[in-house]
Chains A and B, each alone.
Chain A
């Protein structure tokens, strides 16, 4: 059993919030460059170049890449041999988020309640915290700030087994087609399949965390991802929806077993900023 004081989480979460917003992932930069070389539309090429320029300026100026610095989605993989001491775990994570959004000049975008009052909480809390118990004696934290524009284009559909893999592909492509320029394309498409209504949605979000340069470990599913991506990039939506061949940078699938009567499918759309940063506490 290893003791970790929860106060150690605060500066780690603070830094992850800031870094995820200031620095573009190398995989994102690589993918944008890859598609820019193939892009047919001059306007689309200009826009992709502007996105790369924006990445550089954000790092230099120490400013967030996008003004929508998102809801703080926090994934924790907690080793089962860790004993957390020194206070409340969720409170510590929220304190890290509060400090990161304050000290990093990040926008506070959370409102409470969500319908009637919609009052800004002024510190971007509460974070959305998903904790999983895993083997080991360390703690891995991933902060994935999620913007509203892309999240709004996401969807869960309770499909039938008879819809098959073609039904899944059609649903994902159609979801992106209906999103048009709204989610800040080129997007990254997270797809969660199986489990249940709520689990497929979480799988779709977790699918976004795989590096864009990595293929699905199962060749059969890698082929499905490639086919969906190719179909999406034939839609013509392009960067920002102004027309072009670069509508998505990647399609990434995670699946779990499900009930014999069900085939839940979720599409979680991410914008081209595609932010996430991780750290391990030992």
Chain B
């Protein structure tokens, strides 16, 4: 295991088929930020049959509420937030075409099942390494829900954003495999 793979958005099922848990991915392209409050609004739009503020097909959502940018910087510190809080919203977004989620911490079984069904993956960024993560962000632009402050949806252009494959499309889960390997 532990290959290093470069991926560029938009993602397709074919691109994700070769990924295995533990692989390091350097992700480039466009990704969207969303946390708890934005997810609630996105899923309400889906339920009402309305369009999302971004095209979900092949898209990547990064669970992050960045710190404010210093003048001249694209973004402030921008590490992942804990993902389980988005578990109840994630399957609806994957059904709409979402191909990857970036966050930290394990996912519930319903999310794992939805990843297998929709051929989507969950990628772990390193929580707390938020300055390192911010270095990969070239541009950041708020595209929806400015009223939510740090929780607004931002479109980020990233280059070689370093993440680990935590759940692949076969239903493997690094949070189970990794822990079993090192338990005494």
Contact = CB atoms under 8 A, between A and B. Distances in A.
B50 interface: no
B74 to A, nearest CB: 12
A61 B2 CA distance: 30
A258 to B, nearest CB: 32
B53 interface: no
Interface in B120-159: 124, 126-132, 134-135, 148-151
Best-buried of A41, A54, A108 by chain B (most CB within 10 Å): A54
Interface residues of B, number: 46
A208 interface: no
B134 to A, nearest CB: 7
B131 A65 contact: yes
Given A107-B65, A184-B104, A67 B181 contact: no
A41 to B, nearest CB: 6
Interface residues of A, number: 52
A57 B178 contact: no
A43 to B, nearest CB: 7
Q: Chain A's interface: helix, strand, loop or mixed, by majority?
A: loop
Contacts of B2: 42-43
Given A64-B77, A107-B66, A181-B105, A240 B126 contact: yes
Nearest to A231: B184
Interface stretch (B8-16, B79-87, B88-96): B79-87
A244 B180 CA distance: 9
Interface of B: 2, 22, 37, 64-70, 76-79, 81-82, 84, 104-106, 124, 126-132, 134-135, 148-151, 164, 166, 174-175, 177-184
A58 interface: yes
A182 B69 CA distance: 26
Given A47-B129, A241-B175, 9 more contacts: A62-B70, A66-B77, A66-B79, A67-B67, A107-B68, A108-B150, A152-B82, A181-B105, A184-B128
Interface string A66-88: 11110000000000000000000
Contact of B179 (A40, A53, A184, A237): A237
A271 interface: yes
Interface in A29-67: 40-44, 47, 50-51, 53-54, 57-58, 61-67
Contact of B181 (A149, A235, A243): A243
B108 to A, nearest CB: 12
Nearest to A274: B128
Contacts of A256: none
A51 B126 contact: yes
Nearest to A238: B182
A211 B2 CA distance: 36
